[in-house]
Copies of this chain bind each other. A is one copy, B any other.
Amino acid sequence: MPADLLATPDLLRSVFRRHAAGVAVITARGDAGPVGFTATSLASVSAEPPLLSFGVGTGSSSWPAIEAAGHVGVHILGEHQQELAATFARSGADRFAPPTAWRDGPEGVPVLDGVPAWLVGRVVARVPAGDHRIVIAEVVHGDHTGTGRPLLYHQGRFNRLRD
């Protein structure tokens, strides 16, 4: 059977393995402390008003906090931050324990240190989309004074820009 007749999660996964994405960490202040996870779905959505979006699985450990959060933190990871990306993708890890360096940022949102750029967004929608939600947030704070080129993800592993 040709691949174009296989409309399955496998087909989606196989096609997106050929796609490359920048790597971000999303954070929020939960009732039990800071939560966060590594995301490859971050996108800039709208300029006016300034909106961004990302996906989060409703079965993920971060979802209860993201579902309740008024604000979220969005961090662009640098190419030197593979370990940080792995920490925030690892089940059961205390993601905010050392060596993770972070502080309380605007609106009480956990902000990671040493990233090329970060934003705090006010959540304006959580759109149902299968086993995930697409979170839309309006930018209310941020900074981009960090240095470093972005970390990438492709074919199931981290990568970097060539030029």
Contacts and interface: CB of A to CB of B under 8 A. Distances in A.
Q: How many copies does the complex hold?
A: 2
Given A136-B129, A161-B161, A141 B45 contact: no
Contacts of A47: 9, 12-13, 130-131
B15 A43 contact: no
A112 interface: no
Contact of A3 (B43, B136, B144): B144
B18 A144 contact: yes
Instruction: Give the size category of A's interface with B.
Output: 35 or more
Contacts of A144: 3, 11, 14-15, 17-18
Contact of A19 (B55, B140, B150, B163): B150
Interface in A1-27: 2-9, 11-22, 24
17 contacts: A4-B141, A7-B139, A7-B142, A14-B117, A19-B42, A19-B76, A20-B152, A20-B161, A21-B22, A42-B43, A43-B43, A45-B55, A46-B55, A46-B131, A47-B131, A51-B129, A159-B162
Given A19-B150, A45-B55, 14 more contacts: A6-B142, A8-B50, A14-B117, A17-B144, A18-B144, A45-B129, A46-B129, A46-B130, A48-B131, A51-B130, A51-B132, A127-B136, A161-B161, A161-B162
Interface of A: 2-9, 11-22, 24, 40-55, 74, 76, 106, 116-120, 125, 127, 129-132, 134, 136, 139-146, 149-150, 152, 154, 159-163
